[in-house]
Chain A
Amino acid sequence: MNNMMIIGQYVPGNSLVHRLDPRMKITIIFLFVIFVFFANNVASYSILTVFAIITTAVTRIPFRFILKGLTPVWFLIIFTFILHLIVTKEGTVLFELLGFKLYTGALIQGFAISLRFFLLILITSLLTLTTTPIEITDAIEDMLHPLKKIKFPVHELALMMSISLRFIPTLLQETDKISKAQASRGVDFRTGPIKERLKAVVPLLVPLFVSAFKRAEELAMAMEARGYQGGEGRSKLRQLKIERIDIFVLSLFILVIAGLFLTRNY
């Protein structure tokens, strides 16, 4: 069926951001999400915005593509903006209409919060746009490694994630097959009232679940036959390595944060 299927929203590429160690990307994004809240004037916001835009440009992912991915959150951003216009009552009155007063403070505040929101979403979506799900899994496994000391099943969690990722396309193909088989038997998935359409999903889900259980059983057997006995003493084919480029990008990011703290108001 659909041969161009991509899991998540990964856009293949070979840019600097694509090649960065996924752990480094997660760390930087995590820090960025925190530091966005420290910006409080034009200069500090500009620094963060410029950083975000340059990073986006470096990925070479078309900007339109990214904006399209942000459509569901546009509503939230605009909503926050309007809410601030109404609620905030600081600064001087800009104009008055039917008893409603628009303050300068409201405009500034609304704009700042919306921008903050936009930056947060833009930067975090860059992670999934430039990193394959399996890389993210590897990074999470590696970063959660210290939790092993308190008996947190890090390896099992990562294995579960990677097996789920591997089976998503398989199960999608199967869903497609079952829905065609049921449609050929007269099940109507597309028309009729919502209630009827929801009912039509049952003959789709039941066979899908039955087969998923059967797959799980067979997969467990195949894994055991190939010598799987848990995470102990396992080696790994995929290895993450911090390269010079990662250190370079981290230093750059530290400079940006330093700039932020130098310019913000106290």
Chain B
Amino acid sequence: MREKFIEFRNVSFRYGDEQPWVLENVSFEIYKDEWVAIIGHNGSGKSTIAKLMNGLLYPQEGEIIINGLPVNDQHVWEVRRQVGMVFQNPDNQFVGTTVQDDVAFGMENRGVPREEMTKRIGEVLKAVRMEDYLLTEPHRLSGGQKQRVAIASVLAINPNVLILDEATAMLDPRGRKEIMQTVADIQAKNEISLITITHDLQEVVQAERVIVMNAGKVWDEATPREIFTKKDELREIGLDVPFIALLADELKHNDVSIINEPLNHGELLEELWTLHSKM
């Protein structure tokens, strides 16, 4: 059994007393070193979950436990040290005037000594392949580069959890690919739980587990492969089903037997070229 790291216990949240509930009775667990994708269309409550994990918002009902600590005023700074977060807009989270200043910002807040800071900056920028841009100003970087710096800034303080809250939504396909590769890399090399929040089903394929949110409730919790088989239901709650999943579906309707639900081009290809030998 893996160690529990984040636990939501019957959490409900709304932005004001008169407002509708954004989250209703949400419970789930995230384990150590796990990669979980949280997916849902706009307004499903997925971004609120991220802010609750970091103590940027507090729930009206229920409890959130991070690594044994309840998220409240008393523990919020320790929680924020353990839970790092990258937001959607690459520009609006870049605090420093240069790349190195931005990476240092989180460490400065925690009073990390200067020598250690310089060392960490080098390490984390290398991890996101931005080591050549130490003194570059933000307006000279692409969106994908800025997001990689944001990831480095979060990594600099050694968090146990990295949350990407729609971190790729404002990037072009290339930037998106860079970011997904970078985080996959980081997750493989470090003991870190990864939570990617997205509305794009294409981005959940690398995750171990997917939590699907709809209208403030947990709609489903399963592996990406299982999720991909529920095409019609997914479409009903406003999510775009990836092309490969649709193609596999059509093939099945035409009596092509596809046993493993393919997640990407490679897997579908594998299914197809071994088709004959299976019959």
Chain A interfacial positions (CB closer than 8 Å to B): 3, 5, 134, 162-163, 165-166, 169-170, 173, 214-215, 218-219, 221-229, 233-239
The total of Cβ contacts below 8 Å across the A-B interface reads 94
Contact yes or no, B140 A219, CB < 8 A = no
Tell me if B101 is interfacial: C-beta within 8 Å of chain A: yes
Chain B residue, CB-CB nearest to A214: B92
B89: chain A residues at CB < 8 Å are: 215, 218
What's the tally of chain B residues with a CB closer than 8 Å to chain A?
40
A169: chain B residues at CB < 8 Å are: 137-139
Tell me if B252 is interfacial: C-beta within 8 Å of chain A: no
* Docked complex: B109-124 residues within 8 A CB-CB of A: 109-114, 117-118, 121
Contact yes or no, B101 A238, CB < 8 A = yes
Contact sample, A vs B, 26 pairs, CB 8 Å cutoff: A5-B139, A166-B95, A166-B97, A166-B138, A170-B139, A215-B89, A215-B92, A218-B87, A218-B92, A219-B95, A222-B92, A223-B95, A224-B56, A225-B56, A225-B84, A226-B80, A226-B105, A226-B153, A227-B106, A227-B109, A229-B109, A234-B109, A234-B111, A235-B108, A235-B110, A238-B101
B97: chain A residues at CB < 8 Å are: 134, 162, 165-166
Most chain B CB within a 10 A radius of its CB, from A5, A173, A228 = A228
Give, as a whole number of angstroms, the nearest-CB distance from B45 to chain A: 17
Chain B interfacial positions (CB closer than 8 Å to A): 51, 54, 56, 77, 80-81, 84-85, 87, 89, 91-97, 100-101, 104-114, 117-118, 121, 137-140, 153-154, 157
Chain B residue, CB-CB nearest to A232: B111
Contact yes or no, A163 B95, CB < 8 A = yes
B105: chain A residues at CB < 8 Å are: 223, 226, 228
Contact yes or no, B114 A235, CB < 8 A = yes
